[in-house]
Structure 1
């Protein structure tokens, strides 16, 4: 029964994470239509520092709280659980307040890292300062909210976290879109005002989620207190000792979670100046920055979200196999994880490369298609690296080698920092994409070596799978090219309807070709059969 409840809870939490991520991707389409690429650049000026300060304010402690509450519950030391929960709320309240104060009062120095008084772009330093200060308010709530989520997860209660995540995202998105529309279309306000007020949506969404969590706590408070009162007395563990143990686990997780924000921070501090050095106007540089860090970035996160959501359920099995030294199971589970990532991410990235113009034009703006389409074409392959990095760092946690994740990330960031500006001056805006891709490749190389050495894991089989998936992806690509070019004769990319038609028809044809090949060959059944039993049946019929 316990395993059944755990699996059910994990499925609920995975589904909520997936829904939240998809909602977080989809809302950017109408938002960009209202504020444009310059507005997205301003949005990034505020959101990126906020993300970094948020990670620093929590330090991964809420995740660690979940782990250790589960541990002390298993030991029936419920008094320690309650002490940890209460102290965690206090600590997160203090760190949230400190982080808010720092971000709020350092908003201008931070903004000057991205812009200066000589800039002639659409966004001024005062616009960036306003945006940063509006989003900083969320730091007062989110660390506390994350601690409560960790508390519930420690009891195996995934529902509160799942529901609150979806509510948080829905409230935030509705606030952003409604207020942006009112400011721009009804009250004839400025784009900078719309973006700044929209950033306050992070606070509003967090408040909605916190209310949900408080209601759950009030509903379950009596049973939790009763458990505490009936628990046998245990030796009182010093808080200092508890937090030392918490931080040893939490800090690597927190740092790795900063990967994308830190890469984007480097872009924010170097992209505009490097672009102007090679002849781009500041306004044009900001348009490229907005497309790169928000519009195009959100698109490539779609295959990343699908791949990681499908594979993360395997991580607990990896941990158990490594702990019990069941290396045969470990080999199988790691292989399964890699297969799922490649099965989804490779064709999805190929589709985005081939349909970059129609994808960007139909979802965003035809007027920006030259900028967005070009960036998407080069950025799409990086989605594969993002997917592998996210899951491989989780695998390293499973085999208790998370410190190598930190080393790998540092190496990648160092390359990005050193070569971002030179790459932009050599290759134009595509240089920033290339610097990110090479940085992630270096990090991934270190992580894959670590998994192979300490897993231990043999990559021979997955390389064969990669060749087979690559072959099917190539055939799919040929189908997509033929359909896209054929439709392009009659439907030039001059209207969103034409762009959307080409995107849907080409994607459908490519997906049909890919699924036909993988199902008929039995590959889909072998990789996804446990999740979709009908694929195994297809495979059996195909081999009879």
Structure 2
């Protein structure tokens, strides 16, 4: 378990920092390009993310699973052969994906624009899609390298390369868009085109950091290769058949959220036009698929870290028939996931007005969408983790089935719900689709492993109770602040309110969870030591 938690911690910290950076850059970028141009930026990223996931083909997880499996039986040669040949294949895959997205830019733009009253035009969308497609040349190559490191239980290269990639991308994006808009008085389309092209430059930075780790760790890999025992000479055909079997479900896991966003991108404007709201359609979709989504996705980073670290560990337990360890890993994963994400999403919902004002602008619609959208983050996290568990026990086909079922439900009900409830209808359709996918995953896990845990149920009820108490403190505190100082119409006052409310929320939740020993049980020995010094008993 310590190895699982250590790997999870490294990936989670790396992803947390990456996600924070991915949120922080939006504030100055939003100020540079203006709210009216946010939709154009988001239109480029949804098809890019889907094409990227297809190009990567689940490489990090699939390769880490393959390498971990054969390393566990002492066959280090098979993983090395996969890495050597796979890098060439991923380079070709990346170039073909770039070419496909570049050529499909116009058809994609025509699918999105449904009404002449919309603010964004077909040519603008096609232009930014072409610029972002260049990143596809580099990223697939990088993803396979990350998977190889993870297979050896080296999570640091993935975490650091993701950080470097994000930092380089953001620096280029902000400087480039600022120069275009404020120094050279260029158009928003030019600034956004440069901004999306920064994904390519950031990927180069991430690749360089991975090269550094390869040079650093190569002696270790070579030493293990010399002691490799043969599990039977695997042909390249058998190697790639196994990897593709692993990767196909993770193509779907990787594009789960973008696919739901794609459904909104293709149907939202139609539904809004049907009810006479075409003029605000681009702005509302920008809030749904970009500004609020960037905040909502932050709590989900824990699930992403767990799913990446979980697959090799679960595969190891399952291969060695260590049923008890497997059940314990699953129990702890679900509990920690809920322990962290539930209070986070509740806090975001309660403080949505001040959060949206501070990060973007004072906008009633934006804060309303954020408050309604935040709880769905729990479903995003649960889907990723349940999918990772199914992948670990060789039930990959059910991931594809569950996700496609959820997407089809979303597709069927999206337009009617949007016509009835506008933007909130799209969120409701997403939540229903994810609930169906998660339910299918849990049914399969229960049937395959006879998994059922009264402990998880009891702890979940306890976590919900703690969150309710925390929420009550936040609501009372915020109301008192508004009574004393009024509604926060300035960013500074919004920041003050958030600092006070968040501090109280963390203090209350931490105190209660430490007082009853829940935090110590879920977060390990280090938290237990800290709690003991503070006078809490586990």
Does TM, scored on the shorter chain, surpass 0.5?
Answer: yes
User: Could you say which residue in structure 1 is the equivalent of 2:474?
Assistant: 480
How many residue pairs match? The answer is 537
For residue 376 of structure 1, the aligned residue among 370, 380, 384 is 370
Give the direction of change, closer, same or farther, for the CA distance of 1:323–1:280 in structure 2 (3 Å limit).
same
| 3-state secondary structure, aligned to 1:514 | helix
Residues 331, 458 of structure 1: 8 Å contact kept = no
1:521 is aligned to 516
How far apart are the structure 1 equivalents of 2:525 and 2:532?
A: 11
- Mapped pair 1:17 → 2:15: yes
Aligned twin of 1:191 = 188
Tell me the SS of whatever aligns to 2:34.
helix
Preserved contact between residue 37 and residue 286 of structure 1 (Cα < 8 Å): no
Could you say which residue in structure 2 is the equivalent of 1:449? 443
What does residue 27 of structure 2 align with?
A: 29
**RMSD over aligned Cα atoms:** 2.8
Q: Residues 439 and 464 from structure 1, CA distance in 2 versus in 1: closer, same or farther, beyond 3 angstroms?
A: same
Contact 2:65 2:311 (8 Å CA) reproduced: no
- The Cα offsets for residues 131-183 of structure 1, whole Å up to 9 and x where unpaired, read as 10001001111111222333344444444333322111110111111111111
Q: In structure 2, list runs of 5 or more residues that go unmatched.
A: none
- 2:111 paired residue number: 113
Identify if the C-alpha distance between structure 1 residues 232 and 362 changes in structure 2 by more than 3 Å, giving closer, same or farther. closer
CA distance in structure 1 between the aligned counterparts of 2:5 and 2:347, rounded to whole angstroms: 33
Secondary structure at 1:400 match in 2: coil
Whether 2:380 is the aligned partner of 1:386: answer yes
- TM superposition shift of 1:220: 5.9
Partner of 1:361: 357
Instruction: Look up the SS of the partner of 2:473 in the other structure.
Output: helix
Q: 1:319 & 1:69 partners in 2: Cα distance? A: 11
Farther-moved stretch of structure 1 (87-96 vs 32-41): 32-41
- The counterpart of 1:250, out of the listed 247, 264, 283, is 247
Following superposition, the deviation at residue 227 of structure 1 comes to 7.3
User: Residues 79 and 509 (structure 1 numbering): CA distance in 2 closer, same or farther, change over 3 Å?
Assistant: closer
Tell me, yes or no, if structure 1 residue 136 matches structure 2 residue 133. Answer: yes
- Partners of 1:53 and 1:270 in 2: CA distance: 19
1:181 to 165, 178, 182: 178
What's the CA shift string for 1:50-83, capped at 9, x where partnerless?
Answer: 1111111221234333333445556666665454
- Residue deviations 1:276-330 (CA, integer Å, cap 9, x gap): 2212133x11111111111111111222224654786566554444444444443
Q: Normalising to structure 1: TM-score of the pair? A: 0.90
Indicate if the aligned counterparts of 2:7 and 2:309 stay in contact, CA closer than 8 A.
no
Contact 2:65 2:315 in 1 (8 A): no
1:506 aligns with 501
Structural mapping, 1:242-281, within 5 Å: 242-281=239-278
Of 333, 338, 345 in structure 2, the residue corresponding to residue 342 of structure 1 is 338
Query: What does the per-residue CA deviation read over 1:173-218, in whole Å, with 9 as the maximum and x for residues that have no partner?
Result: 1111111111112122222211111000110001112223334445
Cα offset, 1:219, TM superposition: 5.8
Residues 522 and 539 of structure 1 are in contact (CA less than 8 Å); yes or no, is this contact kept in structure 2?
A: no
CA distance in 2, matches of 1:91, 1:355: 47
Unaligned runs of 5+ in 1: none
Tell me the secondary structure at the aligned position of residue 297 of structure 2: helix
Work out whether residues 157 and 210 of structure 2, in 8 Å CA contact, stay in contact via their aligned partners in 1. Answer: yes
CA contact (8 A) 2:57 2:248 kept: yes
Secondary structure, in 3 states, of the residue corresponding to 1:200?
helix
For structure 1, which segment, 160-169 or 239-248, has the greater mean C-alpha deviation from structure 2 after superposition? 160-169
Q: Cα 1:376–1:241, aligned 2, differ >3 Å: closer, same or farther?
A: same
